[in-house]
Chain A
Amino acid sequence: MILSEQDLTALWVTIKLASVSTLVLLIIGTPIAWWLSRSQWRFKFIIEAIIALPLILPPTVLGFYLLISLGPNGPIGGLVNLLGGAPLAFTFTGLVIGSVFYSMPFVVQPLQNAFTSIGSRPLEVAATLRASPLDRFFTIVVPMAKPGFITASVLGFAHTLGEFGVVLMIGGNIPGSTQVASIAIYDHVEALEYGQAHWLAGSLLLLSFLLLVVVYGANRRYTVAQP
């Protein structure tokens, strides 16, 4: 076995984390992106800035604040505590919450761009053809924004794969539950296990590359199909 059992587990936790986070992000991010693309609210830019914050904020800063708010005395942790739940810091659920904040701009921005480029005309046409608002969203917006959804999913997934600072701050490094591949690589390097670091790093490199090939390939197919 080239990858140790612990490495495989770390890889599995990473992929699970990225998948769950992407799913949550699509569910939360789609209405946010839709609202951002349609709203005429004059202070909309403030929300846009907040969503874009993780792009420039050092992950340790984001992680630090998340750690505070997820902790038993923080707003999120306190609420969970009040409802009888277990503390979220140093758990997989905590990691998902962190990743959702961390990767939000990578999902919301492509979706927002895709929604904006559709414009209002196709929706007006659908309305005159008796389609209700929800019907219009699923039969017109979703298919027309398909490239945007593919880009958003893959970027959200890939960005979560590479997460390091946030996970380190709020997840600790518990093998089998919160140890992800990027941190496992760091541990290997610290222990001078370069061989194992190579295999794990190579796996992540290949996975990320394949994902980006899918994104660019899909976008190319859509632009070629509609000259």
Chain B
Amino acid sequence: MTTGPTTEEDLRARVRALLDAHDPAAADPADFLRARFDAGLAWVHFPEGLGGLGAPRAMQRVVDAELAAVSAPDNDPRRIGIGLGMAAPTILRYGTEEQKQRFLRPLWTGEEVWCQLFSEPGAGSDLAGLRTRAVRDGDGWVVDGQKVWTSSAHNARWAILIARTDPDLPKHQGITYFLCDMTDPGVEVRPLRQITGEAEFNEVFLSGVRIPDAHRLGAVGEGWRVAQATLMNERVAIGGLALPREGGMIAPVAAAWRERPELRTPALHDRLLTLWVEAEVARLSAERVRQQLAVGAPGPEGSGLKLAFARLNQQISGLEVELLGEQGLRYGDWTMVRPQSVDFYGRDAGYRYLRAKGNSIEGGTSEILRNIIAERVLGLPSEPRNDKDVAWKDLPR
């Protein structure tokens, strides 16, 4: 990593130079974003030449604030969360120079949306038990299998994919990580309707999908280790979103409380304040982890953030429906739609309540996260297991 500017003044000067060359009001948004990437102002902690300046991660705020102040086009991070939060840090860490140059720029500008082909119908919490196969074929691989819970698959140009390349090895050792072209004719995406009524997720069927070996990320058989980097980043991305005070799920409840005095009761008041306090504490915890991570990669602390985030979102959204009383009996719309982005806080109270149920399942269930904290943070013994030294093909299923 090269040494970049470390002062806020340097960054502001670079932002001014970008704005001088590319009028944010007049420029084509995609052109502007490409120019921002090339100026190293996309993610300042990335290396020079890859959208960054090798600066401390925390200094991104300076850039974002300057650009927000002039309403510059942004890359709609909610639409491309999987690319930004999961694919990008993994490609940065394990990718070849060619892969970094090819993928990071359109990923960041949003010209290429990414999705994540990890979970399978038979491999959720036990992700390493996955059965999607990748078989070597000349200078590439042929992939067959089924993935599930794939948000954004219907918009995605690329996917991060883990598949089994050696069934004769124990399950964690026979996995390899790939970058999969979602336009391959062997990829079929079907909407998966969820309890909110909409289909934010998909099932993805992979039939004879061809992946060139140049799109393998990391060594053959190293996929589990590479995937760990993705998953650690995913938990930080889900639980560690930078929110303002009273942001996120508590915002609509506080607003309803202020606007509708007729709903107030003493019992609800104390619950509201209890959850407001817990939401604020969770926000401060996320901020503290961000300060710890200002340089460096996420550790298991991210699992804690996500655990708190899931519990709070569920409790707060539950309170909101109850607070609304009669209005809580109504639901906006059960029509099956395929949204363009993942939205935890949108639509109405009923939607938020139902969507929050997924928060303790997606990206690692709360039960798995508690195991991770107990084992990796507190150093307690691992769960007893009988699948560690057995060839994957010989496991009972």
Whether chain B is bound by chain A comes out as: no
